[in-house]
Amino acid sequence: MSKLITILLFFVYVFSVSALNTFIENGQRPELFELTDNEIVTFKITIPDEEFTLLKEKANVQGLTPPISNFTLEMELGKQSYRVYFEEMLNQNFTKLFPNIDVNAEFPGFFIGSDGYANIDKIMENLDFDPKNYKNFDFVWGNLGYQILALGKYDYVQLLVKYLGMLENLNTVDKETLKSTETLATKIIESTKVKQDTEIKSIENNLIESIISKSKVNSMKTIANNDISQKSTKNLASKIIKSTKVQQDKSFGNKILESKPNKEVNSMKTIVNETPVKSTKILASKIIESTKVEDNEIKLDDDNIMESTNKNQNQEDMSTVIETNDFKTKNGKLTVDIAGIQKSFDEITFSLSGQYSRSLVKPNFNIKIRGKKDLFGSSQLKLRSDLTEPTFLRSKLTSDIHKKLGIAGISANYATLYINGEYMGLFVLTDAYKLSWIKQVYGEKDTKFLYKCNGVAYLDVGSVDKCTNENDEDDVTESNLEWADFLVAMTNAQSAEDIEDIFEVDHFIKEMAIEYLLGSWDHIQLGHNYYLYKQPNGKWIYLTYDHDHTFGINLDRIFIGYFFVDLPERNVMKDYPNFSFSDWTQKHQIIQKLILNDPARFNQALKEIVSEVFNPAILFPRIDELKEFIRSYAEKDYTADEEGKYPGRINALGINPYTFEHWEANSEFTSVTTLQYNAYGIKYWILSKYRNVCKTYDLECDPLYLDENYEFSIDENVQFTGYDFSSYQAPVEYNPTTATTTLIETEPTPSITITESSSIENESPTSESNNEIETENDKDSRTDYETENIY
């Protein structure tokens, strides 16, 4: 009888929940997420005590630090390092080493004297270390080492590569010389290690990357020029792989040029060796185009088969940290309290998760339910702390917007977590793109066509080894071949019509419109945090995850990157809500072809999204609703216990940056300081972006929110008003007269008058004309905040 009552109560609960949720129509999400719309579900994990202790140890990953430095100091240290490197590498008598060649003709820029030795002083004079010449340098996408070494009067990257190659082929080089060069190579390689992906890398750290990058590019250019007439891509791609694989020779030249083998490269080898991929000419042309120099800069084009070495090194280093601090156990049990019913699972996998998020004081977790069981249809879930931002709202709102528009994507709600009885706090509960998710949503069991793209993947042929197949149980050789063919077709396409039959073009365009409206930058813009799935209808679809970087958070990370106390002219705040899409986006080839060259479909998608969901009349009440739903849980999360400890903050090396006041303020109209940059108030971002697109696209919009006298309040206690550099201290041994300590003021946060009751005044787009997307014939209107990519 009691069991029957429980079942009846459950159905009453289900129907009441369905009646209460009006923002998203039923049937848009997995059952678990429809059941938890009006209840914060409780997850209770039990693992052995010694494993819980180990988890807390492994959770300790160095926290993020402000990206502030003194560029003059950086350049001085780099200059000193380069001198040492050149002195050690070129400490040879060139005339004796190479008696049968004109060494000055072969190595111009080494300034080899009558004594046979390179003139290091003259070499250093030809390298530009003047800080003022780099005020417009792109520190986000650029490679400073390459800029210094290769783009002056002499290309020292090429000269060094040539020298090292010739040196290793000599039989006259003694063992001591080889040992010395090996020692130097080790020193350089070690110097490339960085702590996290946003930390400023010294000039010294870029030397090895510059040599590796340029040598690969030129090797590929030679290959492409020699093979462009071949009919089969197989030979060309095999040579590309061979040109980057680890050499067995222990000499300095080979060690300096080698790259680490990995799962992705081996996957590419398999693809190449198994099948001829279409159109060698297209692939070869891509490689050649990727090496073209324009305006003294190497463009990091979206088509580039070579990734940015800065970015890759950062990702590889962070991956190494995560691997070292990885935690996963299958010795756990899970109990879930939902809708008055308790569900128990004896076979689970419980693990720490994330890359960037591992630096957070409160880490994320993954849960996998095994034994062919599931929680209302879901078997793989994520518990995200989302402490990149203070509100717990950004991921949830982004998911809700997708679902309200009927767009495939991650579902999100809320949960609390206990581990061995210890309260870990409030989390954003999401599902995950795994084979089980594909089965649940698309009905395909054990798909072989789900690829996770998580590193410099821009949907071109260069992405072939940057995305990994999620099916690790079956033979996916044939799937990998189709994946390669798909990427070649994407690269070869000139317009949307060329790929309509293999790619969900309209879905991708809508996603780009959503990302633009939300100020989202952490997916294809950076080449990661998305999946590609080949649906049963034969079309591949773009699926994004990790949505905490939305609604205008940490945008300076993308458009400024680093702040230097001695280059204040670089440190000007941008009016991000008024950016046009062209100003906003990276010019990846897929975005160029599907949107920038012909913006009609994008413009229409954007108008529909604004009408259906991205407007204050719809989103402001949803925000209010969600805030009241989680308020008591958020307050508890930001409240310390008697020992001064906060729930779930187990990363002792992380920073606990937010308070409940931040939660309240940033979910409204107040911009706040984040771990490294700042975050617009969510409602402020929505209001500002709404006004911008309404004016730009001449939409019929709600006059209430277009009224410049629309009032709202700002919490001045937590408001972000600028970056405070006063705490920055240069090393004591360095005291440059040009270095200054300043507080950089923002431009008035797009024209906000801060009073007890504030309003947005005098808003206008960044240019006098409307900022709709330019066509391919329009000139690039980028301003000084956008420099071309360099590596």
Mapped onto helix, strand or coil, the DSSP state of residue 398 is helix
Report which of 552, 558, 503 is spatially closest to residue 525, judged by C-alpha positions. 558
Report pLDDT for 353: 93
Quote the tokens at residue 261: 């083998």
**Amino acid identity, residue 696?**
T
Based on the number of CB atoms within 10 Å of its own CB, is 779 exposed (0-12), middle (13-18) or buried (19 or more)?
Answer: exposed
Report pLDDT for 158: 79
3-state helix, strand, coil in the chain (%, to 5): 40, 15, 45
Confidence label for 217 from pLDDT (cuts 50, 70 and 90): very low
CB 615 within 8 A of CB 702: yes
Looking at the predicted structure, is the pLDDT value of residue 278 above 80?
no
Alpha carbon distance 313, 639 (integer Å): 38
The model's pLDDT over 479-519, given as tens digits with 9 standing for 90+, comes to 999 999 999 999 999 999 999 999 999 999 999 999 999 99
In degrees, to the nearest 5, what angle opens at C-alpha 126 toward C-alphas 121 and 131? 105
**Amino acid identity, residue 745?**
E
Q: What is the overall mean pLDDT for the chain?
A: 77
CB 55 within 8 A of CB 327: yes
Q: What percent of the chain has pLDDT over 90?
A: 56
Report pLDDT for 84: 86
CB 513 within 8 A of CB 506: no
The model's pLDDT over 435-481, given as tens digits with 9 standing for 90+, comes to 999 999 999 999 999 999 987 899 999 999 999 999 999 999 999 99
Report pLDDT for 322: 56
Looking at the predicted structure, is the pLDDT value of residue 15 above 50?
no
Burial 78-114 (b: 16+ CB within 10 A, else e): beebbeebbeebbebebbebbeeeebeeebebbbbee
Looking at the predicted structure, is the pLDDT value of residue 235 above 70?
no
Consecutive H or E run containing 183:
helix 175-191
Quote the tokens at residue 160: 């060094």
Q: Read off the DSSP letter of residue 392.
A: S
Phi-psi bin for 475: left (phi > 0), alpha (psi -120 to 50), beta?
A: beta
More confident residue, 357 or 674: 674
Report pLDDT for 181: 55
Q: Worst-scoring range by mean pLDDT, 215-229, 634-648, 661-675? A: 215-229
Report pLDDT for 92: 85
What's the longest Cα–Cα distance across the chain? 103
Mapped onto helix, strand or coil, the DSSP state of residue 773 is coil
Alpha carbon distance 696, 610 (integer Å): 12
Report pLDDT for 511: 98
Report pLDDT for 568: 85
Report pLDDT for 62: 87
What is the residue-wise DSSP string for 577-646? GG--HHHHS---HHHIIIIIS-THHHHHHHHHHHHHTSSHHHHHHHHHHHHHHHHHHHHHHT---TTSPP
Span 253-275, average pLDDT? 32
Report pLDDT for 730: 65
Confidence label for 177 from pLDDT (cuts 50, 70 and 90): low
Report pLDDT for 243: 35
More confident residue, 132 or 16: 132
Alpha carbon distance 198, 63 (integer Å): 11
More confident residue, 258 or 565: 565
Quote the tokens at residue 769: 């004309």
Alpha carbon distance 352, 350 (integer Å): 7
Confidence label for 255 from pLDDT (cuts 50, 70 and 90): very low
The model's pLDDT over 683-734, given as tens digits with 9 standing for 90+, comes to 999 999 999 999 999 999 999 999 999 999 999 999 999 988 877 776 545 4
Looking at the predicted structure, is the pLDDT value of residue 321 above 70?
no
Looking at the predicted structure, is the pLDDT value of residue 406 above 60?
yes
Report which of 729, 755, 636, 622 is spatially closest to residue 686, judged by C-alpha positions. 622
Alpha carbon distance 759, 114 (integer Å): 74
In the block, tokens 């920055």 appear at 728
pTM to 2 decimal places: 0.77
Max mean pLDDT range (12-26, 263-277, 462-476, 766-780)? 462-476
CB atoms within 10 A of CB 121: 9
CB atoms within 10 A of CB 559: 17
**Amino acid identity, residue 69?**
S
Cβ-proximal residues to 769 (8 Å cutoff; 6+ apart), any chain = none
Consecutive H or E run containing 221:
helix 203-227
Find the helix packing angle between 203-227 and 280-290, rounded to 10°: 150
Span 119-137, average pLDDT? 91
**Amino acid identity, residue 580?**
S
Q: Are β-strands 422-431 and 380-384 bridged in parallel, bridged antiparallel, or unpaired?
A: antiparallel
Span 390-399, average pLDDT? 98
Alpha carbon distance 298, 115 (integer Å): 36
In the block, tokens 């039959």 appear at 501
Report pLDDT for 356: 81
Report pLDDT for 184: 56
Report pLDDT for 554: 96
More confident residue, 454 or 199: 454
CB atoms within 10 A of CB 182: 15
CB atoms within 10 A of CB 176: 8
**How long a stretch of residues is the chain?**
791
More confident residue, 352 or 68: 352
CB 130 within 8 A of CB 76: no
Span 770-775, average pLDDT? 44
Ranges of H-type helices in 275-385: 280-290, 309-324
In degrees, to the nearest 5, what angle opens at C-alpha 356 toward C-alphas 354 and 362? 70
Confidence label for 244 from pLDDT (cuts 50, 70 and 90): very low
Report pLDDT for 137: 86
Report pLDDT for 323: 65
Looking at the predicted structure, is the pLDDT value of residue 430 above 50?
yes
Report pLDDT for 141: 79
CB atoms within 10 A of CB 1: 5
Looking at the predicted structure, is the pLDDT value of residue 413 above 90?
yes
Span 127-137, average pLDDT? 89
